[in-house]
Amino acid sequence: MNQAFIYDRTINFRDTDAAGVVYFANGLALCHEAYEASLAASGINLKSFFRGEAIASPITHASIDFFKPMFCGDRVAISLTATQLSAESFQIEYQLYFNGEEERQKAIAKALTKHTCIDTSTRKRCNLSEELLQWIKLTQ
């Protein structure tokens, strides 16, 4: 999946703010959409995954660096790589490019999210599920 998987997204009006560009926190929301699309592409059911029916993997850290502004109508390509950090945690690194400019141009933004798996009944940390481990491999 890794080389092939690119999340392709047109910037919507709702993503922008009165300065005319994407509202900064929405930059991270775009990355999360890429994460969702990547999970779905590996066969994970998004509805049960994100309702946290048995295990949840909430975000404990998120960061983003912006190099260029994004405007309504811009087409953005997002790639990601997931890495296991411990038995109970993983991180995802994201790169955003203007569509068609990958590798040739500077990124629009780079972002990172860290996730810890918890058992939703006890709220205690637990090991990554088998489907998450498989997805991590696919992104590498």
Contact between 125 and a second copy by CB under 8 A: the answer reads no
Contact between 43 and a second copy by CB under 8 A: the answer reads no
Question: Residue 105 Cβ, how far from a second copy at the closest point, in Å?
Answer: 17
Strands 55-56, 75-86: parallel, antiparallel or unpaired by DSSP? unpaired
Would residue 17 show up in a list of annotated catalytic residues for this protein?
A: yes
User: Residue 93: enclosing H or E segment and its boundaries?
Assistant: strand 89-98
117/83 Cα distance (integer angstroms) = 14
The two structure tokens encoding residue 110 = 């780079």
Question: Residue 136 Cβ, how far from a second copy at the closest point, in Å?
Answer: 19
- CB nearer a second copy, residue 12 or residue 105: 12
The window from 63-71, 79-87, 89-97, 125-133 that contacts a second copy (CB under 8 A) reads 63-71
The phi and psi torsions of 15 (rounded to 5 degrees) equal -75, -15
Catalytic annotation, residues: 17
